[in-house]
């Protein structure tokens, strides 16, 4: 009957023998008597929590008429999370005892010999009394014992009554209320006094005390939240079953606490508003006659952390620390410790929370150890007030306890400690200052024992600082020379180096810290070198301008020629930050600016952006004379034209394209292998532009100033080889100027790479022979393509915008890591090898993009490419294939050149080559050969394509070339055709906007449908001749108010299927008479009609004739079925048979259901071979369907996530028709080319910005996009 009482632990079983009866219960370690005298001592809120649970336990027992009979502190068990169990029921003990014979009391109720008495006075009888000794105890007796226990609890373990005092109190010779009045909480004192009344009839029941003290002694949240929630946790069973303290129980408890953390916070924070609320009157009497005063001294301040229910919550969390098993549970526990840390007192953080977190620093999981180190630092940093006993916590407890982290086997743990050691050092210094403040302000107010303790722990401040610095020195000695670069990088993160310098002082920092960290620039880990350069900004502000120029500046200059370009970019950003802080003298600043200025031609966009930022910072500190005499001449070789002032926008506009990556690498290799590199460069500068190179025919260029012949004769064979490589890379005079400006940098960079290369070769354990791994070498000829010219200024704009937050006076560790990784991704490919970063001249005209293969990760801006062929008159054109490089962009906007599976082939020409100003057309073919794929089953060897029309042709002809036949060149039919924007006719008969248009298969007439609900037929021949701009006929047999949504011509017939917004589909035809060029058109006649289910509307339609597959496959007649495909707004694709049905409606053959959350269908594209169907939706989802098996093959999302407006086949001569053109709604107006095989975007065509300048290249292809209304013209 007591199994559902959460605070009661009854007897579990009884064993009867011949001599005795043994009773058993669950074992618990500590009683309330033990807990009162155990550190950390119970806070006031915890005492109230224990008293509340005791009252609840007694109330539950008395409700069921069960009486304990021996309530005392030894019979109250307390768990490590302060959960109370009332146990050891004394039903077998006598109720009444003789007052003149204490032996019965000692035998039954004082086995510990304390002489403390908790029994009610009425339980003792005199020799002459006639009491019934067999009568059982009652509720008032238990209430008296409960009052004695609560009084002892709030008096720090002092007994309330001894046996002699109780007997005297029974006779009225002793009053215990004097001792009860010493309880600090007046409300508790009044409640205990009421429980200890001599008259049993005046004592209330436990339920009445709980009700009367609700919101006064016991906070409201005890009743509404805390007690029910704690009871719901998996606590020891009150039935006496064994307590499962295994990992599964504790881990489940931690998981529940973790997921309920927000609810617990809300309840405990809301409880603060109720603490301290009292009645308006100064003194009132509750319904039980117990006086409740409104004085604030009886209440705990709401803002006091010692009154916070979080202390009770903290005890529960601390109890879980020793028994949790999994690392996940321990990490969650550490997160919960951090969550409650702001809500508990500073003393509780140091005395209660910190020791349990310190135990986790020796956990078996490295992740738990590292997280525990971070929590220790954060908790210590949040402490603002110290007690005298905790003033030496760092030197006596924290730092000695963390000593083992230095020798930890896991770099993760050592890196975690290195990352927070600066925080610990600053916090320790603050603790020393707090201790001195306590000593200074206390005077003689502290007790003598605390004063002695404070003197012993701290002594003089300087002595305390010496002890602290000695321990920090010992720890840093190991961390600074740690073998793992990650640990040393962590030591430099978040400004830790500068903060440590402040703690140690300038003298010790120079002798100890700087002597170690400056060696990091020679480390092989480029991330460590970059981290040191970032930390140098704060370090320079500490050491001052003089030490910066004497000791740190040479390191910066040396790092400018680092082999890792990310480090070079970081050096430049560091110089810019130091220049912005005005830490350089003007002559030093002038030398730095002239040194870094040639890096504006560097092929790495991040290096160029950092260089520009550095130059701009320097220019702000130069007077006008120095600006134009020193800085401007250094920058001028990198500019295409002069600038009126050195401003960011002007420099970006005038900046020359960077030196191509291929030329840069050849120049570095040349400088590393030839000692005459610098001499040759200087001599070439004296010769003039173009002095380094020979002509394309191999004949030496005539010397312009008389020095080239000497240079040619002085060249070694190795120099000639490098000159030949530069010739093949089409190096021009402008590139030569850039190379000359960077000659010193190239030479030093070559020496740096040589030094690193020699050391790295020695570390290679062995060389893998290809023959040993059955690898056959294969020669691949790579033809460099240097005329793909992206916009270099856009690169610098993007890089500078990203570097803006990290170039200032020191950044955070996170920004450092992010920017370093971004720079690294710019310079390294996916395999880790260095790849080309081509940034050349601006692009113009219609441009194509290459989008990353993962559509969802497409960047917000794309590389613009253009292709310009340099043709020479008289030079014959031959068929050839060159591999084209498409420029893709990583997540941060850097362009990385890669090969794509597309190759550009020049078409064979049937006529003499055009003039040099006419670039040859490019035809795209697939480079894949015999690989089987999904599209192999969806298409055959060829499909219908449309060739380039000639200006002379008035209509388009349809051909079906074989897979090996090349298309005719546009030059063979009169030159390259391009739209000239000549107005032929205006179609003005529609009374509303024109929504859709279609042209007949033989291209003799076209149809237009509009918002007026009419379809009008126009004669193409008359429109071209200009003889008549009237519609030849019209069809308006739709319901009133309907809008023509879409229409299509029937294959092989002069018939049109049109759909209205009312859901009507009408198939009609127009008869023509006359065989001349200008036929006559008759009235339109309806041949089929169909009504879609309301509210469906058709959005796109296609017609085709299905090939007959067997006897049962036709729909009648000798041919295949005539099928009309209709895409509706209800996400359904219907296949309607055009064969006449008795009902008059079109028969539904089958349907395809689109996924609703993909969006409403907007358009579709049918395979010319009728094997597949592609649909687009309003949400930008493309779906490929297999029409043979009526299944969905794949779906993918367009990166723009916009409405798909148009779909079309793309390219000429594609063997399997796997490329389609997709148009989307809204700006930027662009068309994307997608590979149906992989769902990958291959190219992007976008509109030209501004007017086309003379001499710009024009990209010829199938699609031309104009800006007018954002439409697409095929």
What is the 3-state secondary structure of 485-541?
HHHHHHHHHHHHHHHHHHHHHHHHHHHHHHHHHHHHHHCCCHHHHHHHHHHHHHHHH
Tokens of 427: 């916090």
Within 10 A of 1048 (CB to CB), how many other CB atoms are there?
23
Within 10 A of 282 (CB to CB), how many other CB atoms are there?
9
Task: Round to whole Å and give the CA distance between 655 and 635.
Answer: 9
pLDDT at 643 over 80: yes
pLDDT at 439 over 80: no
Phi, psi of 899 (to 5 degrees): -85, 145
> What mean pLDDT is predicted for residues 778-801?
52
Looking at residue 332, its pLDDT comes to 94
pLDDT at 377 over 60: yes
Contact indicator for 1045, 994 with CB cutoff of 8 Å:
no
Tell me the average pLDDT of the chain: 74
> What mean pLDDT is predicted for residues 148-173?
93
Annotate 881-939 with DSSP letters as a single string: EEEEEEEEE-TTS-EEEEEEEEEEEEPP-SS----TTSPPPEEEEE---S---GGGGT-
Taking only the tens place, the pLDDT of each residue in 661-672 is 999 998 888 888
Angle at 335 between CA 329 and CA 340, to 5 degrees: 125
Closest C-alpha to 869, from 823, 917, 903, 911? 917
> Per mean pLDDT, which range of 625-634, 902-911, 932-941, 1209-1218 is the poorest?
902-911
Q: What is the dihedral of CA 426, 430, 435, 436, to 10 degrees?
A: 110
Buried b / exposed e along 770-805 (16+ C-beta atoms within 10 A): eeeeeeeeeeeeeebebebbbbbbbbbbbbbebbee
Taking only the tens place, the pLDDT of each residue in 221-269 is 999 999 999 998 855 444 444 444 445 788 989 999 999 999 998 888 7
Query: In which band, very low, low, confident or very high, does the pLDDT at 767 lie, cut at 50, 70 and 90?
Result: low
Q: Cα–chain-centroid distance for residue 237?
A: 45
Task: Round to whole Å and give the CA distance between 1065 and 1062.
Answer: 9
Query: In which band, very low, low, confident or very high, does the pLDDT at 461 lie, cut at 50, 70 and 90?
Result: confident
Looking at residue 1112, its pLDDT comes to 39
pLDDT at 138 over 70: yes
Q: Which helix (H) or strand (E) holds 170?
A: helix 163-170
Range 992-1097+1133-1163: architecture per CATH: 7 Propeller (2.130)
- Catalytic residue among 70, 798, 1019, 1167, which? 70
Tokens of 717: 């064979």
Task: Round to whole Å and give the CA distance between 898 and 1252.
Answer: 29
pTM listed for this prediction: 0.59
> What mean pLDDT is predicted for residues 768-782?
64
pLDDT at 859 over 70: no
Task: Round to whole Å and give the CA distance between 1045 and 1031.
Answer: 20
Taking only the tens place, the pLDDT of each residue in 34-79 is 999 998 899 999 999 999 999 999 999 999 999 999 999 999 999 9
Count of CA atoms in the C-beta half-sphere (13 A) of 1074: 7
Task: Round to whole Å and give the CA distance between 896 and 886.
Answer: 9
Annotate 786-835 with DSSP letters as a single string: ------HHHHHHHHHHHHTTTSSS---HHHHHHHHHHHHHHHB-TTSSB-
Report which of residues 249 and 897 the model is more confident about: 249
Query: In which band, very low, low, confident or very high, does the pLDDT at 763 lie, cut at 50, 70 and 90?
Result: very low
Looking at residue 958, its pLDDT comes to 30
Task: Round to whole Å and give the CA distance between 70 and 1213.
Answer: 100
pLDDT at 927 over 70: no
Looking at residue 873, its pLDDT comes to 36
Query: In which band, very low, low, confident or very high, does the pLDDT at 703 lie, cut at 50, 70 and 90?
Result: very low
Query: In which band, very low, low, confident or very high, does the pLDDT at 114 lie, cut at 50, 70 and 90?
Result: confident
Q: What is the dihedral of CA 871, 873, 875, 877, to 10 degrees?
A: 60
Phi, psi of 1048 (to 5 degrees): -155, 150
Taking only the tens place, the pLDDT of each residue in 1177-1209 is 988 899 999 988 889 988 888 888 888 988 888
Count of CA atoms in the C-beta half-sphere (13 A) of 710: 11
Phi, psi of 124 (to 5 degrees): -105, 140
Report which of residues 198 and 133 the model is more confident about: 198
Looking at residue 946, its pLDDT comes to 29
Q: If DSSP codes are grouped into helix, strand and coil, which group holds residue 1260?
A: coil
Looking at residue 348, its pLDDT comes to 92
> What mean pLDDT is predicted for residues 834-850?
35
Tokens of 830: 């996916």
Query: In which band, very low, low, confident or very high, does the pLDDT at 287 lie, cut at 50, 70 and 90?
Result: very low
Looking at residue 329, its pLDDT comes to 93
pLDDT at 1225 over 50: yes
pLDDT at 836 over 50: no
Contact indicator for 738, 637 with CB cutoff of 8 Å:
yes
Taking only the tens place, the pLDDT of each residue in 299-311 is 444 344 545 789 9
Taking only the tens place, the pLDDT of each residue in 315-348 is 999 999 988 889 999 999 999 999 999 999 999 9
- Using omega within 30 degrees of 0 as the cis cutoff, is the peptide bond preceding 40 cis? yes
Domain residue ranges of the chain, discontinuous segments joined by +: 13-218, 249-278+299-343, 345-519, 525-659+786-842, 661-759, 992-1097+1133-1163
pLDDT at 1115 over 60: no
> What mean pLDDT is predicted for residues 893-906?
32
Task: Round to whole Å and give the CA distance between 947 and 921.
Answer: 12
Looking at residue 420, its pLDDT comes to 94
* Cα torsion 104, 106, 107, 108: sign: positive
Looking at residue 1066, its pLDDT comes to 87
For 13-218, the fitting CATH number among 3.30.70.380, 1.10.10.10, 2.40.30.20, 1.10.510.10 is 1.10.510.10
> Per mean pLDDT, which range of 59-73, 1030-1044, 1112-1126 is the poorest?
1112-1126
* Cα torsion 873, 879, 883, 888: sign: positive
DSSP-H helix ranges across 64-162: 102-109, 139-154
Q: Are strands 1204-1209 and 1230-1235 parallel, antiparallel or unpaired?
A: unpaired
The CATH number that domain 525-659+786-842 falls under is: 1.25.10
Q: Are strands 124-125 and 97-98 parallel, antiparallel or unpaired?
A: parallel
Query: In which band, very low, low, confident or very high, does the pLDDT at 682 lie, cut at 50, 70 and 90?
Result: low
Domains 13-218 and 992-1097+1133-1163 share a fold: no
Angle at 160 between CA 154 and CA 165, to 5 degrees: 170
Looking at residue 52, its pLDDT comes to 96
pLDDT at 854 over 80: no
pLDDT at 1071 over 90: no
Contact indicator for 670, 643 with CB cutoff of 8 Å:
no
Greatest mean pLDDT among 281-290, 611-620, 828-837: 611-620
Tokens of 998: 């279609």
Which are the contacts of 332, defined by CB distance < 8 A and separation ≥ 6? 254, 255, 258
pLDDT at 818 over 60: no
Query: In which band, very low, low, confident or very high, does the pLDDT at 980 lie, cut at 50, 70 and 90?
Result: low
Q: Which helix (H) or strand (E) holds 1150?
A: strand 1147-1153
Contact indicator for 631, 640 with CB cutoff of 8 Å:
no
Tokens of 1170: 């009728």
Contact indicator for 540, 553 with CB cutoff of 8 Å:
no
Q: Clarify whether 70 is annotated catalytic.
A: yes
């Amino acid at each position: 009957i007591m199994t559902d009482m959460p605070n009661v632990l009854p007897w579990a079983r009884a064993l009867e023998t011949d001599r005795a009866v043994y009773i058993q219960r669950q074992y618990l370690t500590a009683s309330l008597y033990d807990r009162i005298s155990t550190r950390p001592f119970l806070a006031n809120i915890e005492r109230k929590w224990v008293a509340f649970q005791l009252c609840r336990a007694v109330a539950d027992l008395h409700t069921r008429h069960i009486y304990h009979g021996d309530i005392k502190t030894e019979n109250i068990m307390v768990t490590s999370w302060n959960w109370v169990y009332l146990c050891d029921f004394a039903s077998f003990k006598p109720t009444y005892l003789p007052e003149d014979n204490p032996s019965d009391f000692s035998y039954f109720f004082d086995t510990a010999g304390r002489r403390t008495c908790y029994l009610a006075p009425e339980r003792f009888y005199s020799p002459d009394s006639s009491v019934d000794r067999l009568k059982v105890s009652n509720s008032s007796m238990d209430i008296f014992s409960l009052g004695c226990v609560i009084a002892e609890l709030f008096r720090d373990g002092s007994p309330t009554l001894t046996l002699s005092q109780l007997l005297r109190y029974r006779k009225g010779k002793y009053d215990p209320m004097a001792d009860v009045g010493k309880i600090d909480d007046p409300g508790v004192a009044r409640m205990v006094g009421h429980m200890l009344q001599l008259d049993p009839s005046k004592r209330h029941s436990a339920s009445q005390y709980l009700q009367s003290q609700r919101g006064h002694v016991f906070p409201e949240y005890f009743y509404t939240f805390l007690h029910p929630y704690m009871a719901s946790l998996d606590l020891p069973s009150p039935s006496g079953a064994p307590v499962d303290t295994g990992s599964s129980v504790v881990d489940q408890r931690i998981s529940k606490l973790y997921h309920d953390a927000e609810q617990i916070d809300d309840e405990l924070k809301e409880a603060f508003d109720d603490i301290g609320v009292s009645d308006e009157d100064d003194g009132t009497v509750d319904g039980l006659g117990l006086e409740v005063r409104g004085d604030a001294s009886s209440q705990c301040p709401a803002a006091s952390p010692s009154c916070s229910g979080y202390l009770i919550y903290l005890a529960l969390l601390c109890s879980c620390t020793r028994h949790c098993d999994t690392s996940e549970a321990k990490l969650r526990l550490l997160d919960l410790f951090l969550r409650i840390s702001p809500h508990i007192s500073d003393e509780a953080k140091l005395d209660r929370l910190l020791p349990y977190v310190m135990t986790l620093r020796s956990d078996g999981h490295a992740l738990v150890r590292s997280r525990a180190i971070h929590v220790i630092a954060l908790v210590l940093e949040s402490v603002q007030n110290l007690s005298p006993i905790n003033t030496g916590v760092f030197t006596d407890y924290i730092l000695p306890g963390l000593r083992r982290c230095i020798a930890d086997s896991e770099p993760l743990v050592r890196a975690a400690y290195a990352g927070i050691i600066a925080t610990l050092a600053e916090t320790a210094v603050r603790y020393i200052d707090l201790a001195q403040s306590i000593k200074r302000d206390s005077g003689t107010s502290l007790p003598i024992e605390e004063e002695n303790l404070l003197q012993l722990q701290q002594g003089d401040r300087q002595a305390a600082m010496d002890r602290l610095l000695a321990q920090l020195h010992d720890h840093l000695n190991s961390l600074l020379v740690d073998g793992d670069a990650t640990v040393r990088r962590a030591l430099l993160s978040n400004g830790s180096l500068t903060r440590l310098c402040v703690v140690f002082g300038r003298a010790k920092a120079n002798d100890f810290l700087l002597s170690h960290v400056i060696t990091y620039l020679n480390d092989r880990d480029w991330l460590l070198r970059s981290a040191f350069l970032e930390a140098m900004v704060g370090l320079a502000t500490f050491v001052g301008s003089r030490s910066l120029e004497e000791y740190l500046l040479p390191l910066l200059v040396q790092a400018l020629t680092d082999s890792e370009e990310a480090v070079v970019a970081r050096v430049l950003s560091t110089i810019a930050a130091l220049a912005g802080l005005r830490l350089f003298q003007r002559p030093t600043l002038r030398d730095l600016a002239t040194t870094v200025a040639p890096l504006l031609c560097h092929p790495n966009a991040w290096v160029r952006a950092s260089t520009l930022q550095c130059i701009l910072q320097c220019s702000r500190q130069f007077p006008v004379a120095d600006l134009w005499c020193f800085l401007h001449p250094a920058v001028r070789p990198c500019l295409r034209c002069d600038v009126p002032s050195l401003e960011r926008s002007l420099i970006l506009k005038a900046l020359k394209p960077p030196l191509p990556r291929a030329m840069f690498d050849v120049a570095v290799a040349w400088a590393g292998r030839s000692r005459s590199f610098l001499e040759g460069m200087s001599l070439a500068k004296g010769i003039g532009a173009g002095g380094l190179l020979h002509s394309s025919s191999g004949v030496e260029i005539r010397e312009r100033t008389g020095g080239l012949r000497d240079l040619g004769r002085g060249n070694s064979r190795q120099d000639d080889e490098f000159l030949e490589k530069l010739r093949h890379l089409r190096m021009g005079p402008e590139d030569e100027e850039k190379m000359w400006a960077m000659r010193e940098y190239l030479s030093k960079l070559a020496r740096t790479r040589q030094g690193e290369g020699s050391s790295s070769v020695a570390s290679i354990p062995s060389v893998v022979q290809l023959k040993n791994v059955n690898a056959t070498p294969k020669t691949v000829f790579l033809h460099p393509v240097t005329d793909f010219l992206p916009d270099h200024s856009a690169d610098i704009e993007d890089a500078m915008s990203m570097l803006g937050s990290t170039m200032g006076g020191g950044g955070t560790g996170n920004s450092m890591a992010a920017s370093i990784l971004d720079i690294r991704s710019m310079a390294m490919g996916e395999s880790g090898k260095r790849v080309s970063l081509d940034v050349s001249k601006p692009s113009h005209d219609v441009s194509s993009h290459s989008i990353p293969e993962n559509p969802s990760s497409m960047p917000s801006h794309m590389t613009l490419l253009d292709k310009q062929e340099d043709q020479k008159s008289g030079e014959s054109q031959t068929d050839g294939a060159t591999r084209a490089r498409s420029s893709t962009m990583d997540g941060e906007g850097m362009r990385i050149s890669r090969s794509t599976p597309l190759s550009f082939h020049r078409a064979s020409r049937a006529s003499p080559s055009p003039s040099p100003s006419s670039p040859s057309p490019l035809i795209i073919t697939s480079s894949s050969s015999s690989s089987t794929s999904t599209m192999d089953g969806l298409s055959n060897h060829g499909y219908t394509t449309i060739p380039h029309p000639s200006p002379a042709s008035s209509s388009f002809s349809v051909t079906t070339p074989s897979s090996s036949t090349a298309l005719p060149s546009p030059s063979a039919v009169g030159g390259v055709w391009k739209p000239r924007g000549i107005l032929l006719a205006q179609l003005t008969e529609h009374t509303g906007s024109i929504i859709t248009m279609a042209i007949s298969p033989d291209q003799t007439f076209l149809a237009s449908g509009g918002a007026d609900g009419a379809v009008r037929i126009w004669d193409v021949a008359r429109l071209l001749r200009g003889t008549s701009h009237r519609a030849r006929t019209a069809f308006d047999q739709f319901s009133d108010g309907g809008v023509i949504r879409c229409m299509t011509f029937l294959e092989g017939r002069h018939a049109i299927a049109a759909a209205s917004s009312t859901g009507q589909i009408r198939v009609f035809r127009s008869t023509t008479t006359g065989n001349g060029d200008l036929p006559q058109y008759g009235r339109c006649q309806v041949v089929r009609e169909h009504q879609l289910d309301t509210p469906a509307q058709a959005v796109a339609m296609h017609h085709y004739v299905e090939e007959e597959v067997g006897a049962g496959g036709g729909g009648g007649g000798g041919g295949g079925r005539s099928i009309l495909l209709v895409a509706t707004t209800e996400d359904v694709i219907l296949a309607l048979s055009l064969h006449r049905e008795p009902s008059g409606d079109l028969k539904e053959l089958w349907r395809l259901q689109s996924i609703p959350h993909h969006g409403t269908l907007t358009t579709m594209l049918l395979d010319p071979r009728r094997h597949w169907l592609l649909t687009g939706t309003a949400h930008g989802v493309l779906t490929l369907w297999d029409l043979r098996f009526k299944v969905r093959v794949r779906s993918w999302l367009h990166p723009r996530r916009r409405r798909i407006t148009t779909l079309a086949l793309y390219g000429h001569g594609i063997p399997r028709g796997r490329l389609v053109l997709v148009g989307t709604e809204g700006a930027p107006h662009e068309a994307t080319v997608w590979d149906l095989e992989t769902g990958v975007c291959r190219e992007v065509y976008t509109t030209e910005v501004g007017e086309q300048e003379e001499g710009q290249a024009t990209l010829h292809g199938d699609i031309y996009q104009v800006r007018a209304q954002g439409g697409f013209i095929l």
